[in-house]
Amino acid sequence: MVGPDPHVAAARVAVRRTVQSLGLGGQFLLVGCSGGADSLALAAAAGFVVPRLGGTVGAVVVDHGLQPGSARVAEKAAAQCRQLGLAPVQVLTVTVTRAGEGPESAARDARYAALTEAARAHGAAAVLLGHTRDDQAEQVLLGLARGSGARSLAGMPVARPAGPGAVIQIVRPLLTVSRTQTEGACRALGLSTWTDPHNTDPGFARVRARALLPVLEGALGPGISAALARSADLLRDDADALDAAARTAYEQLGEPPWPVSRLVDLPVAVRRRVWRELALGAGSPSGALSAEHLRAVDDLVTGWRGQGPVDLPGGLRVHRRAGLVSLLDRTP
């Protein structure tokens, strides 16, 4: 008996393992589909696997309206999802506000908000996204280039809540599957894929990182993408442990001001996470809070020279006075 194409099988195995490991069998799931090879391969795999695990699966196609013909692309992606047996399939048009960290970030925020709202409206347990092992490798490479910490280098998790306290999960079943495999799966299934013009625009850092991976493969040997993805998995375990230690320390410290004597004995990796928790809890935007900010705050404990307060994004100020570290709102 002849089995499915190897690329199709790889996607199906990845979806089956993820759905089962997260306890999502028997539930209604939504696939976020753009019409690209990755998300169409995911839609095909989910359409085959999820019903066999006792669940149902639909799809949401988000039209960002950023390119001519985007509505046509969205409708074509939706039609293919329906042909793959997914139901219901919905096209959502969003408005992208070109502000903040850039158009790509704004489009991502609008897309995630639309997908989460659709999942809530349909009663879905999770939204499945088509990020692959190559996307994970690019994420790690960008983190290395930016000098980011362990959490950034840990890449994308397989599953996370859609928001603070959310029951709906954002799930990435294809992080063990390569982009070559998703493209091969689409060819084998006769699916017509769309290529986002942004994926070849060198104005985006992720596109430049993508172009570097073949160069690294040539210089260091094959398997770079897989190695970077494995590194992300290992670092995620470390980052999770450090985050848990920081949360415990934060809870034990209570509300600031905090005595320097209680902070100085914390491991530096834990203490800087405590600073981050403090700042985010007070309203500092996570995307604007940098390692330099956290290092400057930490110097109030470990490098005290009588320096002035440290300003943080979000109108916050941390200062040391009389052996105590305090957080103030510096906005009028």
Q: What is the pLDDT of residue 101?
A: 57
Q: What is the pLDDT of residue 109?
A: 85
Residue ranges of the binding site for ATP? 34-39
Is the bond preceding 313 in cis, omega lying within 30 degrees of 0?
Answer: no
- Cα angle, residue 138 at apex, residues 8 and 280 outer, rounded to 5°: 115
Residues 210 and 293 reside in one and the same domain: no
Count of beta carbons in the 10 Å neighbourhood of residue 50: 26
Residues 88 and 136 reside in one and the same domain: yes
Residues 314 and 197 reside in one and the same domain: no
pTM metric for this prediction? 0.85
Residues 216 and 262 reside in one and the same domain: no
Is the bond preceding 173 in cis, omega lying within 30 degrees of 0?
Answer: no
Residues 175 and 297 reside in one and the same domain: no
Residues 178 and 319 reside in one and the same domain: no
Cα-to-chain-centroid distance, residue 80: 26
State the helix-helix crossing angle for 268-281 and 224-253, rounded to 10 degrees.
70
Q: Tell me the C-alpha to C-alpha distance, in Å, between residue 170 and each of 157, 163, 218.
A: 9, 9, 34
List the CATH number of the domain containing 270: 3.30.465
* pLDDT by 10s per residue, the chain, length 332: 578 999 999 999 999 999 999 999 999 999 999 999 999 999 999 999 999 999 999 999 998 877 778 899 999 999 999 999 999 999 998 888 765 556 677 888 889 999 999 999 999 999 999 999 999 999 999 888 877 678 878 899 999 999 888 999 999 999 999 999 999 999 999 999 988 877 788 888 888 988 888 899 889 888 999 999 999 999 999 999 999 999 999 999 999 999 999 999 999 999 999 999 999 889 888 777 888 899 999 999 999 999 999 999 999 999 999 999 999 876 55
Q: What is the pLDDT of residue 80?
A: 98
Q: Could you tell me if residue 240 is inside a domain?
A: no
Bridge pairing between strands 89-93 and 56-63: parallel
Q: What is the pLDDT of residue 94?
A: 85
Q: What is the pLDDT of residue 129?
A: 98
Show the tokens assigned to 59.
């799809």
Contact 19, 13 (CB under 8 A): no
Q: Could you tell me if residue 33 is inside a domain?
A: yes
Q: Could you tell me if residue 232 is inside a domain?
A: no
Residues 276 and 161 reside in one and the same domain: no
Q: What is the pLDDT of residue 31?
A: 98
List of long-range contacts for 23-27, beta carbons under 8 Å, 24+ apart: 24/55, 24/125, 24/126, 24/169, 24/171, 25/53, 25/54, 25/55, 26/53, 26/54, 26/55, 27/55, 27/124, 27/125, 27/126
Bridge pairing between strands 324-329 and 316-321: antiparallel
Residue 275, phi then psi, degrees to nearest 5: -60, -40
Residues 269 and 200 reside in one and the same domain: no
List the CATH number of the domain containing 177: 3.40.50.620
Residue ranges of the binding site? 34-39
Q: Could you tell me if residue 1 is inside a domain?
A: no
Q: Could you tell me if residue 239 is inside a domain?
A: no
Q: How many domains does the chain have?
A: 2
Residues 308 and 190 reside in one and the same domain: no
Residues 10 and 74 reside in one and the same domain: yes
State the helix-helix crossing angle for 291-302 and 268-281, rounded to 10 degrees.
120
Count of beta carbons in the 10 Å neighbourhood of residue 322: 8
**Cβ neighbourhood burial of 121 (10 Å; 0-12, 13-18, 19+):** exposed
Residues 273 and 322 reside in one and the same domain: yes
Contact 278, 316 (CB under 8 A): no
Q: Could you tell me if residue 310 is inside a domain?
A: yes
State the helix-helix crossing angle for 70-83 and 37-52, rounded to 10 degrees.
30
Element (H, E) at 329: strand 324-329
- Could you tell me which residues come within 8 angstroms of residue 186 by beta carbon, excluding any fewer than 6 positions away? 37, 40, 41, 44, 193
Residues 197 and 324 reside in one and the same domain: no
Q: Could you tell me if residue 86 is inside a domain?
A: yes
Q: Could you tell me if residue 234 is inside a domain?
A: no
Three-class secondary structure of residue 94 per DSSP: coil
| Domain around 81 | 6-220
